[in-house]
Structure formats: structure tokens, C-alpha cells
């Protein structure tokens, strides 16, 4: 798994809002800090690969640029409306992000990529939660886009569930069909 330099994730109301769907209620001790625990607040907006897109998502959250973070999700991805999305990050502390090897499939002019993902989210109260799962992205071939608006690489699905192990011991997983 590739460890992305940590960025901040609001896991306050956002996690609370996701609790019914994903059971996000597991609190575990923080992982030991290491070189990957050094925050980098440099602006990152990179949709060139699924891994870069997910890194950009967490970078936007870290920088409290919630509209940018929200924009990485496709309209039909099940994302909440923007006010609910933004409110979900009120008690944000920080996050570490670890991504596994992406797996892609083509379908009717689009490429869907599943990215195994692990996050360690720390709330402003110091509580640490580990989540693992999968992000699915969709890339519509540019040659197939003839009318505006242009649709860039975007997140179509995010499935994160509480992990039962520490961050360093956890790996994300994606179903074989990516769904």
C-alpha cells in the first residue's frame, strides 16, 4: 500500500452522518507517528490518476476547501448536498491516508478504477478512528465527450467501514467487481 502524506479529514459530523450506512463508530488508539505523519498543506488538485484524485480529495479537506473536496464526487455518487458535506467536517482533527494497488475495468467508453483505501481519522477531541474500504473512480474517455460540460475523472463511489486493526496493520479492499 502507498501511504499518502497525511491530510486532515473532518470526521465529526461527517462520520456521524455516515454511521447509519457504514457503522462508523470504532475508536482505536492512534498509530505511532512516523515520517508519514508530517502534514503537507501544499495545494494539490490532480485528477490525472485515481490515486492522485483521492489524494487531492483529502488535501482539499485538510485545507478546509470543502467545495473543492465535494466537487471530486460525481453527482450520482450518493454524496450529500454541499451544506451537509461541509457541516460534516466541523470537528476535524487530521487523517492519514493509505492507498492500495488500483484495479481498472473498461466499459462503454469509460474506465472504472477501484482503489483500496485506509484512513486514520483523528477528531478534534483526539479520538482516532480507522476506516478501510474502497473508492471507485470513473474516467470518461475525452474523445467520447463532444458536448459541454467536460466530465473529468471523478469519484463515483466511496465505501469505508470501521477497521478492527491499527492503521499500519489495515489494508483497504475492493470487491472483485469494484461495486
Contact between 105 and 111 under an 8 Å Cβ cutoff? The reply is yes
Mean pLDDT of successive 10-residue segments in the chain (179 residues)?
38 35 32 39 92 93 89 94 90 84 91 95 89 96 89 95 94 79
Sign of the alpha-carbon dihedral angle for 45, 47, 49, 53: positive
* Terminal alpha carbon distance of the chain: 20
| Contact between 151 and 140 (Cβ < 8 Å) | yes
Q: What pLDDT is recorded for position 167?
A: 94
Q: How far apart are CA 78 and CA 12, in angstroms?
A: 19
Return the domain boundaries, the chain. 2-169
Residue 53 is predicted with a pLDDT of 97
Would you state the pLDDT for residue 178? Answer: 54
What distance in Å separates the CA atoms of residue 111 and residue 49, rounded to the nearest whole number? 11
Q: Which three cell numbers stand for residue 108?
A: 462503454
Spell 108-132 as b/e; 16+ CB within 10 A means b: eeeebbbbbbbbbbbbeeebbbbbb
pLDDT recorded at residue 90? 80
- CATH fold, domain 2-169, is Nuclear Transport Factor 2; Chain: A, (3.10.450)
Predicted pLDDT of residue 83:
97
Please give the pLDDT value at position 40.
Answer: 61
pLDDT digits (tens, 9 = 90+) for 131-163: 999 999 999 988 888 898 899 999 999 999 999
Burial category of 3 from C-beta neighbours within 10 Å (exposed 0-12, middle 13-18, buried 19 and up): middle
Q: Supply the pLDDT for residue 124.
A: 85
pTM, entire model: 0.76
Q: Where are the beta strands (DSSP E) in the chain?
A: 2-7, 92-99, 103-107, 110-123, 128-140, 154-162
* Closest residue by Cα to residue 8 from 44, 52, 71, 59: 59
Amino acid at each position: 500500500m502507498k501511504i499518502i502524506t497525511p491530510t486532515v479529514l473532518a470526521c465529526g459530523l461527517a462520520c456521524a452522518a455516515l454511521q447509519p450506512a457504514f457503522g462508523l463508530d470504532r475508536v482505536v488508539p492512534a498509530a505511532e507517528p512516523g515520517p508519514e505523519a508530517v502534514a503537507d498543506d501544499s495545494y494539490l488538485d490532480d485528477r490525472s490518476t485515481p490515486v492522485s484524485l483521492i489524494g487531492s480529495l483529502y488535501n482539499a479537506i485538510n485545507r478546509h476547501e470543502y467545495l473543492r473536496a465535494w466537487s471530486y464526487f460525481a453527482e450520482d455518487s450518493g454524496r450529500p448536498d454541499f451544506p451537509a458535506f461541509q457541516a460534516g467536517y466541523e470537528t476535524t482533527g487530521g487523517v492519514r491516508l493509505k492507498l492500495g494497488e488500483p484495479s481498472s475495468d473498461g466499459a462503454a467508453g469509460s474506465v472504472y478504477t477501484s482503489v483500496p483505501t485506509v484512513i486514520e481519522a483523528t477528531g478534534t477531541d483526539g479520538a482516532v478512528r480507522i476506516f478501510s474500504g474502497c473508492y471507485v473512480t470513473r474516467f470518461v474517455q475525452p474523445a467520447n465527450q463532444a458536448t459541454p460540460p467536460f466530465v473529468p475523472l471523478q469519484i463515483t463511489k466511496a465505501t469505508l467501514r470501521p477497521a478492527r486493526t491499527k492503521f499500519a496493520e489495515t489494508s483497504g479492499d475492493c470487491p472483485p467487481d469494484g461495486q
